[in-house]
């Protein structure tokens, strides 16, 4: 099939040529890179990539298609894909659709052909930056002007969060959990459901009173796109509910817990995105290989007097990867224990949340799980 000629123009003036796949549309996004060797479907459908171009360092993308059961959300919001080679000859018996056709359906453009290693090295040395994906014949000067004139969005969480509460029921449920949806990955909901949780997913700006009216046994704070400081509503919810319910946060949820307790977050030079980031659990001394996708991190200097202690640390750059306040039954991780894509080493964190809920129910004296 004849594919349109496209190019990527970066803020620093570098231009990379290639062929379009997915939607034949222009887009301006922040470009980041992901080093996972598998899992492009989960990356494609992870709402945390809303408004970002993901440059895949693995050189062959598309060859196992998309499987009906593997989406992280029904409405993919990734800004676009940058790949070395796009391949549409599906080789997986589970494949239902091609990546390109589903990208087209959702208006998401892609470019195949650029030297993705060169782009990655550029982002590593100069830091994440924005780019315009456009037709090959757009003049570079006009492209740079468009880039400079496009404002950075601050409403990504509002774009990906559900608009009304919805419930994921599980057979023989033992716990009821409210999940604050800042762009929740469905594998998180599956991971909670697999441990006996009925999960009510609520919009990111749900007031604390409305959450309490649902009488949950625990509160979960999801991953999500953008700068955590753009969602003060969700941080306020944590402030109002911490100490009243067991709380578990992942990625953006972890950052929101830090902000709610007076800590600071900052933007990393090029972020962590991949399926093999080593993290040390400081409580056990064990090392976990983790799946990651984030640009921001919690400033360890800002943690004194917050009541939060660091439980996990990244072994590549020493950044904070986990926080806890046992008095408030509150803990969080910067990485992805639901690990899609990625290793399973950190799945124990969901069990830790269940243990925290169990202890809470027992202490409250109204442990009625046997009645279920």
**H or E stretch covering 274:** strand 265-281
Which part of the chain contacts ligand GLN (CB under 6 A), choosing from 67-75, 81-89, 224-232, 314-322?
Answer: 224-232
**With CB under 6 A, what is the number of residues at the site for ligand GLN?**
11
How many CA atoms lie within 13 Å of 281's alpha carbon, on the beta-carbon side? Answer: 16
Residue 251 in the binding site for ligand GLN (CB under 6 A): yes
60-61 vs 85-86, strand pairing mode: parallel
Q: Which residues pair with 309 in a beta bridge?
A: 324
**Is residue 358 annotated as part of the catalytic site, yes or no?**
no
Nearest distance in Å: CB 321, ligand GLN = 12
The alpha carbon of residue 73 and the mean position of all alpha carbons in its chain are separated, in whole angstroms, by 11
Residue 257 in the binding site for ligand GLN (CB under 6 A): no
**From residue 241, how far is each of 42, 197, 232, 276, 286 by CA, in Å?**
31, 19, 14, 34, 31
Rounded Cα distance, 372 and 357, in Å: 16
- CB nearer ligand GLN, residue 109 or residue 249: 249
Neighbours of 157 (CB within 10 A): 28
Residue 65 in the binding site for ligand GLN (CB under 6 A): no
Rounded Cα distance, 22 and 20, in Å: 7
Rounded Cα distance, 178 and 202, in Å: 7
Nearest distance in Å: CB 365, ligand GLN = 35
Nearest distance in Å: CB 234, ligand GLN = 12
Residue 201 in the binding site for ligand GLN (CB under 6 A): no
Query: Considering only CA atoms, which of 32, 37, 83 is closest in space to residue 341?
Result: 37
Query: Which positions from 279 to 318 touch ligand GLN by CB under 6 A, shown as an x/- string?
Result: --------------xxxx----------------------
Sign of CA dihedral 37, 38, 43, 46: negative
95-97 vs 5-10, strand pairing mode: unpaired
Among 36, 98, 223, 319, contact with ligand GLN (rule: CB under 6 A):
223
Q: Is 252 annotated as a binding residue?
A: yes
Given the residues 30, 72, 288, 338, select the one marked as catalytic.
338
Given the residues 42, 55, 251, 294, select the one marked as catalytic.
251
Among 252, 256, 260, 349, contact with ligand GLN (rule: CB under 6 A):
252
- CB nearer ligand GLN, residue 218 or residue 224: 224
**Is residue 338 annotated as part of the catalytic site, yes or no?**
yes
Helix, strand or coil for residue 134?
A: strand
**Is residue 288 annotated as part of the catalytic site, yes or no?**
no
Name the binding residues. 48, 224, 226, 252, 255, 293, 296
Catalogue the active-site residues: 251, 336, 338
Q: Which residues are annotated as a binding site for L-glutamine?
A: 48, 224, 226, 252, 255, 293, 296
Which residues in this chain contact ligand GLN in the complex, by CB under 6 A? 48, 223-226, 251-252, 293-296
């Amino acid at each position: 099939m004849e594919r349109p000629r496209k190019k990527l123009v970066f803020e620093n003036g570098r231009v990379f040529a290639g062929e379009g796949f997915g939607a034949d549309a222009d887009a301006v996004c922040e470009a980041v890179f992901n080093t996972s060797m598998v899992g492009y479907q989960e990356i494609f459908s992870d709402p945390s990539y809303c408004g970002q171009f993901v440059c895949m360092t693995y050189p062959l993308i598309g060859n196992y298609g998309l499987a009906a059961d593997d989406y992280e959300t029904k409405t993919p919001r990734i800004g676009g894909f940058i790949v070395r080679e796009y391949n549409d000859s599906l080789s997986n018996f589970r494949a239902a659709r091609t990546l390109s056709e589903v990208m087209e359906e959702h208006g998401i453009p892609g470019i195949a052909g650029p030297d993705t290693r060169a782009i990655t090295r550029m982002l590593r040395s100069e830091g994440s930056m924005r780019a315009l994906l456009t037709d090959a014949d757009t003049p570079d000067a006009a492209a740079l002007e468009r880039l400079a004139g496009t404002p950075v969005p601050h409403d990504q969480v509002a774009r990906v969060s559900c608009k009304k509460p919805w419930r994921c029921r599980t057979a023989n449920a033992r716990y009821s959990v409210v999940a604050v949806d800042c762009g929740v990955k469905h594998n998180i909901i599956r991971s909670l459901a697999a441990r006996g949780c009925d999960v009510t997913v609520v919009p990111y700006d749900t007031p604390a009173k409305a959450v309490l009216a649902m009488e949950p046994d625990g509160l979960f704070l999801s991953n999500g796109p953008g700068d955590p400081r753009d969602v003060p509503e969700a941080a306020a919810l944590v402030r109002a509910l911490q100490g009243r319910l067991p709380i578990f946060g992942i990625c953006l949820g972890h950052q929101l817990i830090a902000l709610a307790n007076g800590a600071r977050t900052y933007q990393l030079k090029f972020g962590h995105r991949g399926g093999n980031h080593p993290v040390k659990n400081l409580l056990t001394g064990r090392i976990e290989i983790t799946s990651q996708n984030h640009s921001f991190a919690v400033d360890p200097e800002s943690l004194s007097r917050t009541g939060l202690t660091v439980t996990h640390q990244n072994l590549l750059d020493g950044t904070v990867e986990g926080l806890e306040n046992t008095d408030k039954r509150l803990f969080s991780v910067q990485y992805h224990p639901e690990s899609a894509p990625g290793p399973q080493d950190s799945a124990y964190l969901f069990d830790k949340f269940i243990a925290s809920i169990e202890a809470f129910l027992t202490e409250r004296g109204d442990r009625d799980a046997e009645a279920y």
